């Protein structure tokens, strides 16, 4: 079968507060969002018919990222926690435990999100 690549995406949510100190907008004051994150892995299809087991991905994401972010104040551990910087932080935390991450998307609202792609 001919295809260019095959990816799977795990989506998760967390609630967290932030304030953007380097921004002259309403985001400068303390407020919260329900953030949505999509983590995409692009890899060879294995003999079991999977790129990566979703259950295993969920375990890694919950342990390394979600449990730490949920109900947190993001400024405590991410400098200028924009959707972009949160995505980069998530990548750095996941990378040692989850290979072949090709894309991370962080939604600050249903219509505003940052997308980071990796080689």
Please give the distance of CA 116 from its chain centroid, rounded to a whole number: 9
Contacts with 19 (C-beta within 8 Å, 6 or more apart), sequence order: 27, 28, 29, 30, 31, 75
In the bound state with Zn ion, the residue whose beta carbon lies nearer, of 27 and 114, is 27
Q: Collapsing DSSP states into helix, strand and coil, what is residue 61?
A: helix
In the bound state with Zn ion, the residue whose beta carbon lies nearer, of 61 and 86, is 86
From the list 23-31, 57-65, 66-74, 75-83, the region that binds Zn ion by CB under 5 A is: 23-31
Choice among 27, 43, 64, 100 that is catalytic: 27
Identified binder of Zn ion from the candidate list 8, 9, 17, 27, rule CB under 5 A? 27
Q: Collapsing DSSP states into helix, strand and coil, what is residue 111?
A: coil
In the bound state with Zn ion, the residue whose beta carbon lies nearer, of 9 and 75, is 75
Active site residue 100: no
Question: DSSP character for 68?
Answer: H
Which positions are catalytic?
Answer: 27, 71, 108
């Amino acid at each position: 079968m001919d295809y260019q690549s095959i990816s799977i995406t795990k989506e998760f949510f967390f609630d967290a507060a932030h304030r953007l100190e380097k921004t002259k907008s309403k985001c400068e004051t303390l407020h919260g969002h329900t953030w949505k994150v999509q983590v995409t892995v692009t890899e060879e299809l294995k003999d079991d018919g999977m790129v990566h087991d979703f259950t295993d991905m969920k375990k890694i994401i919950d342990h390394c990222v979600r449990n730490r972010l949920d109900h947190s104040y993001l400024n405590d551990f991410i400098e200028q926690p924009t959707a972009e910087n949160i995505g980069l932080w998530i990548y750095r935390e996941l990378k040692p435990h989850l290979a072949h991450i090709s894309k991370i998307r962080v939604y600050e609202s249903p219509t505003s999100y940052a997308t980071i792609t990796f080689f």
